[in-house]
Structure 1
Amino acid sequence: MDKKRLLYIAPDHYSFYKVILEGFQKYSQHEVQFVYSNKSENFKYKNIFERVYNFFLKTFTGKNIKKLYKEQYFEKKVNEYKKYDIVYINRPDILSDEQLDSITSKCDKSIVYYWDSFEKIDGQFETMKYFDKVYSFDKFDCEKYGMIKGHNFFYVTETINNPQYDVFFLGTYDSRFENLISILEKINNQGINVHATLFTYDVNLSKEIKHKNISFIHKIVPFNEAYTFNLNTKIILDIQHDTQVGLSFRPYEAMGLKKKLITTNPHIKEYDFYNPKNIFIWEKDTQEIPSDFLNSPYEELPEEIYNKYKLENWVKTILS
């Protein structure tokens, strides 16, 4: 009996796709065909003359060698098989209506997961009609548009002895910065070893902003490597974006690593893994972390809840 085929289409955003791809390959019992939606697999200009030629081509005709190569790559990869049992897509808004129509017509079942709210990314709502199962991490979008409320997962369960920090935050330099500074300084005033590592393309920012609890990096940390930073702390700090309702990956990562979490997202109370002994919600008027939270040990979750959020179970639930 032939193995069932799963078509997985996703952009290469911080190597996030690699974790899900590995999950599908390990736990789905499908033959997985992966296709980038936002780039060609190995495009390179042959020489400087082709690069110059493409510049003039774009300028005077609106055509683009790189775009044409990407479209050819995409069509070739998708059409390697006439039929698929399942297609799973992240960021379908990157694809054209013609591509979505063609892809879903080749598949017995079509699944999409919106990892960002419709408010944050334009064009997502218009793609819903192409899919049989529609997931979103945003509860308000789910309530408004009748989507299935999804959740994130953890995929690492490593531990290290004697981590360097008591509290640590890994993120990007963005609109959360002022709130981050306020939280770091309040925690630091408690005599707690707290630190934040922020990504920015601006190499001058680290010269302009000097803060003893902050360091800057200028190379994006791939999603499948980011957990190594949080291994080196006792407590993980999570600061939500202004319009964010659903949970980021940090609460799930904390669960997998069995570390405590400090988060500014009050919606975490609605989840079955919420335990105030493990998770402290930092509110606008919070001045310090309670000593009993700091000094008490991590409390193990019930096995059925812990297993529910493993990547293996996520894969089986999404594809069911």
Structure 2
Amino acid sequence: MKKKMLYIAPDHYDFYKVILKGFQDFTDHSVVMVLSNGYSYHYKNLGERCLNFFLKLCFHTNIKKIHSQKVILQKINQYPTYDIVYVNRPDMLSTELLALIAQKATFSIAHYWDSFSKIKGQKETMPYFDIHYSFDQNDCTQYGLHFTPNFYFTENHSSKPQYDVLFLGTYDYRFTQIKQIIQQLNHQGKNAKALLFSKDKNIRKKHTSQKISFLDKIIPFPEIVAHSGNTQIILDIHHRNQSGLSFRPFEAMGLKKKLITTNPHIKTYDFYNPNNIFIWTNTTLSVPDSFFTTPYTEIPIAIRQKYTLENWVHSITTIKIFHYDATKNLFYLPRHQSAHRRHQTTLPTG
């Protein structure tokens, strides 16, 4: 009989689809997928719209949220228990849902895809889970999380690059730095481009130029590699207070592209090679021409394999952290002292 797995994640640019396919392709689990923010509700009529406005104003309740919660509960309750529960962004769930998940899970996993300093409310979800993963090494050290880097899921995108350097992302506080780097690279005679997304039409009108373009909508995560394959070098601008690596370095590894990054922590990774990766600092004025003209240096197969989606899935779903209590002959899954439940399994003697 297949193991039952509950996978809960937000619908952020179809990223969940990549993980879901990984669970389906690389495990033998029967996966129940639940979107923590993806169940929209359409008002039946104008009266219901007005009623919801009144409820939000006077009672701080929302018909749309009630509907979403109901759908999530129905999906979670397909089975009385699950062998494994994996939750991406548990901070998006209510405490009631977190408690329900804890009761249903034989083994539960929380994955924090952004640093605690960037997204508030994540630390408070820790007691509901058996194990916690993060790509941010500082958070792992400070909060006792298990470090797991990101991965790549597409290899060798064959195309003739249109750009020498490309940055693909959203408009935010990093814009000044992005603009500066793009300008400096173009002053070097390189065809450097930034493709950004912003809902604000005024921002798009103000900052659009020959080398900075704005997108009408965010590119779904599974489609990003097609754009990354259209450049010789990928540009990565990390967020402040972020020690972990974004997906771009791993994307570059999968596509066998060189990388220019502002994240100095990349030096600590086993795939770092200065022939493939240039670290841009506050004092950088230009990138050596040799970085553009020398060929990509192949990464050892064992290291590349380490960062595949398949290996990531296996490392997430097969980790064993059982503790043994010799006085009771019990193996158990450790939890925080404020845990909401502890699963225990009695093993036969002899």
TM range (shorter): over 0.9
The one of 295, 304, 307 aligned to 1:306 = 304
Which 10-residue stretch deviates more, 127-136 or 55-64?
Answer: 55-64
Indicate conservation of the 8 Å contact 1:118/1:124, yes or no: yes
In structure 2, distance between residues paired with 1:137 and 1:61: 39
Moved over 6 A (4+): none
Alignment correspondent of 2:262: 264
Shift of 1:314: 0.3
In structure 2, distance between residues paired with 1:194 and 1:122: 35
**Total equivalences in the alignment:** 318
In structure 2, distance between residues paired with 1:93 and 1:245: 20
Normalised to the residue count of structure 1, the TM-score between the two structures is 0.96
Alignment correspondent of 2:187: 189
Corresponding residue SS for 1:226: helix
Corresponding residue SS for 1:204: helix
Which 10-residue stretch deviates more, 50-59 or 130-139?
Answer: 50-59
Task: State yes or no: 1:36 paired with 2:38.
Answer: no
- CA displacement 1:71-96 (0-9 Å, x = unmatched): 11111100010111000001111112
In structure 2, distance between residues paired with 1:210 and 1:125: 39
Indicate conservation of the 8 Å contact 1:203/1:218, yes or no: no
Letter of the 1:74 counterpart: I
Alignment correspondent of 2:46: 48
- CA displacement 1:20-58 (0-9 Å, x = unmatched): 011111112100001111242x53222333323322332
Q: Which structure: larger Rg?
A: 2
Alignment correspondent of 1:228: 226
Alignment correspondent of 2:3: 4
Task: Give runs of aligned pairs for residues 110-121 of structure 1, distance below 5 A.
Answer: 110-121=108-119
Alignment correspondent of 2:196: 198
Alignment correspondent of 2:239: 241
Shift of 1:70: 0.9
Alignment correspondent of 2:18: 19
In structure 2, distance between residues paired with 1:260 and 1:54: 52
Indicate conservation of the 8 Å contact 1:202/1:218, yes or no: no
Which 10-residue stretch deviates more, 47-56 or 14-23?
Answer: 47-56
Indicate conservation of the 8 Å contact 2:152/2:250, yes or no: yes
Shift of 1:116: 0.9
Alignment correspondent of 1:68: 66
Letter of the 1:13 counterpart: H
Letter of the 1:172 counterpart: T
Indicate conservation of the 8 Å contact 1:187/1:289, yes or no: yes
Corresponding residue SS for 1:227: helix
Structure 1 gap ranges (5+): none
Normalised to the residue count of structure 2, the TM-score between the two structures is 0.88
In structure 2, distance between residues paired with 1:3 and 1:272: 36
Corresponding residue SS for 2:109: strand
Task: State yes or no: 1:98 paired with 2:74.
Answer: no
Alignment correspondent of 1:78: 76
Indicate conservation of the 8 Å contact 2:159/2:229, yes or no: no
- CA displacement 1:278-308 (0-9 Å, x = unmatched): 1111111111111221111111110011111
- CA displacement 1:128-162 (0-9 Å, x = unmatched): 11111111111111111111111000111142232
In structure 2, distance between residues paired with 1:310 and 1:39: 27
Shift of 1:210: 4.0
Q: Tell me the C-alpha RMSD between the 2 structures.
A: 1.3
Which 10-residue stretch deviates more, 57-66 or 163-172?
Answer: 57-66
Overall identity of the aligned pairs, in %:
55
Letter of the 1:34 counterpart: M
In structure 2, distance between residues paired with 1:59 and 1:142: 40
In structure 1, distance between residues paired with 2:299 and 2:160: 22
Alignment correspondent of 1:88: 86
Task: Give runs of aligned pairs for residues 125-274 of structure 1, distance below 5 A.
Answer: 125-274=123-272
Which 10-residue stretch deviates more, 129-138 or 154-163?
Answer: 154-163
In structure 2, distance between residues paired with 1:117 and 1:101: 23
In structure 2, distance between residues paired with 1:115 and 1:307: 21
Letter of the 1:108 counterpart: T
